[in-house]
Structure 1
Amino acid sequence: MAVHLVAAGSLVDEDPQRALEHARYARDQAPRLAAVREAAGIVAYQAGEWAEAARDLRACRRMTGDAGHLPIIADCERALGRADRAITLVTAPEAAALPRAVQAELVIVHSGARRDLHEVDAALRVLEKFGLDRAQQRPWNARLWYAYADALLDAGRRDEAREWFAAAAEADTEGETDAAERLDELGTAEQAGEPADPDSGSAG
């Protein structure tokens, strides 16, 4: 069983489906071990098997009482088209007691679920309420700012979206997002055919 878990971990990035086969075998052998259900759930999530991932991570949560994987479970609900259920999960009272890094992932999922429901203004407010201070260096900044930029773009606020994609790209030292590529796609205001800011030109 341990060999299969190691194999799943080593394969998950390059071949998620093969990794999932190993994780499923380990789960079938030891379905009552929390660590096995956790590993199986994470691999299933990375392989795009949303229902299976949510099921295994819920099982792990029941066994351990640890809600640390709540963002992944909620994101699975989004992927399954159940945005309302995702919002219920991320706004549950226990979410407030989770570490700040996990809360950051929760608000990213929450914002995405609001956008799924076409509530773009609410999606922006969720992220703004959590905090977007660019003077603070935090591990989750790149992902949080990327989500904000994406929501701004959805709201039609392209100039602000460019600004936040740029901030996300600068903060993303681990390559977690495609912020730099998104920024290139948006180009400058002039390239997009938008009117230039009259205050940005040279005097005289």
Structure 2
Amino acid sequence: MDPEIRGELRTLPKSLAELVAKHLVAAGDLLDQDPERAYQHALYARRRASRVGAVREAAGVAAYTVGRWQEALSELRAARRITGQDTYLPMIADCERGVGRPERALEIAHGPGTDRLDMADQIELRIVASGARRDMGDLQGALVELQCPQLKERRARPWVARLFYAYADVLLELGRKEEAREYFSRASAVDREGVTDADERLAVLEGLEIVDVGDDVVWSDAEEPDFDDFSEGDGGAAAPETGGRSAEEDR
């Protein structure tokens, strides 16, 4: 557990601190694999230690992950109030979108505190603001929200991949297919951690499908080959047997 969180838990009686810590660790471990169970662990910790900022943060993140927007909004606001940290702003703004208040999400995205965020959180807020514009039917405004110097970034960072992906997605909805292809390609190139499905989106635009072959992934023509052309004795090469499965079959 993070030493800073342990420090916050020291404000509790020792036995309670140990119990809450176990539930926080469980919530963190399960968040990706079983979000609902993670939420239940975070909820238990919140019931036992509601004045600890790290606990309210965990409850807010878990609620956000399972789509309980209003609950997440309340918990993340409390965490921000207790800790004084602005790192929760992107999720808070996205929760406002979740409860149907895109205008409020935009106010947060362009409001006080945003200049103190690190670059990853600033980009996340841009993505949320772009989504809010789309909620309001303003596609051009959604594109403008994402236009920033970081669109020229070349380093492989998760936030770079997410920015390129979001930009490509809006371009595609605007009907600018060639530009969308370029930015999906850029997202794919820098997405070392698999935070987007840029490969799949790019494959669709290229008319390809992604096929698993052992530990490798290859792209092939989406149309099935005509194996009738490979009849015995016609001198043609035998059709390859890859044993691979398409991305669709894996889902």
Which has the higher mean CA deviation after the structures are superposed, 131-140 or 67-76?
131-140
Q: Which amino acid counterpart does residue 152 of structure 2 have in structure 1? A: D
- Name the % identity: 53
What is the RMSD of the two structures over their aligned residues, measured on CA atoms? 1.6
Alpha-carbon offset, residue 154 of structure 1: 1.2
Q: In structure 2, how many angstroms separate the alpha carbons of the residues matched to 1:50 and 1:106? A: 17
TM-score, normalization by structure 2: 0.72
CA contact (8 A) 1:104 1:130 kept: no
Hey, what's the Cα distance between the residues in 1 that align with 2:100 and 2:200? 27
Q: Quick one: which amino acid aligns to residue 123 of structure 1?
A: A
Does the Cα contact within 8 Å between 2:127 and 2:163 map onto a contact in 1?
A: yes
Aligned to 2:60, which of 41, 50, 54?
A: 41
Following superposition of structure 1 onto structure 2, how do residues 63-82 of structure 1 map, counting pairs within 5 Å?
63-82=82-101
Contact 2:86-2:116 at 8 Å conserved across structures: no
Conserved 8 A contact 1:152-1:160: yes
**Counterparts of 2:137 and 2:148 in 1: how far apart (Å)?**
19
How much has 1:135 moved relative to structure 2? 4.1
In 2, the alpha carbon distance for the partners of 1:168 and 1:137 equals 9
Q: How many residues align?
A: 189
> Where do 4+ consecutive residues of structure 1 move more than 2 Å?
134-139
Q: Match of 2:23?
A: 4
Q: Is the 2:165–2:196 Cα contact (8 Å) retained in structure 1?
A: yes
Equivalent position of 1:151 in the other structure = 170
Distance 1:139 1:178, change over 3 A: closer
- Measured in 1, the distance between the counterparts of 2:103 and 2:158 equals 28
In the TM superposition, residue 130 of structure 1 has moved relative to its aligned partner by 5.1
Q: Does 1:59 align with 2:78?
A: yes
Where does the alignment leave 5 or more consecutive residues of structure 1 unmatched?
Answer: 192-204
In structure 1, the residue corresponding to 2:132 is in which secondary structure? helix
Greater per-residue strand proportion: 2
1:50 aligns with 2:74: no
**In 2: Cα distance, 1:178 partner to 1:136 partner:** 18
Q: Is 142-151 or 120-129 further displaced after alignment?
A: 120-129
For 2:152, what is the secondary structure of its paired residue? coil
Question: Hey, what's the Cα distance between the residues in 1 that align with 2:205 and 2:98?
Answer: 26
TM-score norm. by structure 1 comes to: 0.88
1:85 corresponding residue in structure 2: 104
The C-alpha deviation readout for 1:27-76, integer Å capped at 9, x for no partner, is 00010000100111111111121111111110000011111010011111
Hey, what's the Cα distance between the residues in 2 that align with 1:115 and 1:15? 30
Deviation at 1:131, TM superposition (A): 3.3
- How many angstroms apart in 2 are the aligned matches of 1:137 and 1:5? 30
Partner of 2:140: 121
Q: Which residue in the other structure is 2:36 paired with?
A: 17
Greater RCO, CA 8 A, separation 6+? 1
Secondary structure (helix, strand or coil) at the match of 1:140 reads helix
Return the alpha-carbon distance in structure 2 between the equivalents of residues 129 and 7 of structure 1: 38
Matched letter for residue 64 of structure 2: Y
Q: Within 2, Cα distance between the matches of 1:130 and 1:85?
A: 25
2:110 & 2:139 partners in 1: Cα distance? 18
Greater per-residue helix proportion: 1
2:9 corresponds to:
none
Partner-residue secondary structure (3-state), 1:105: helix
Unaligned runs of 5+ in 2: 1-19, 208-220, 222-251
Match of 2:205 in 1: 186
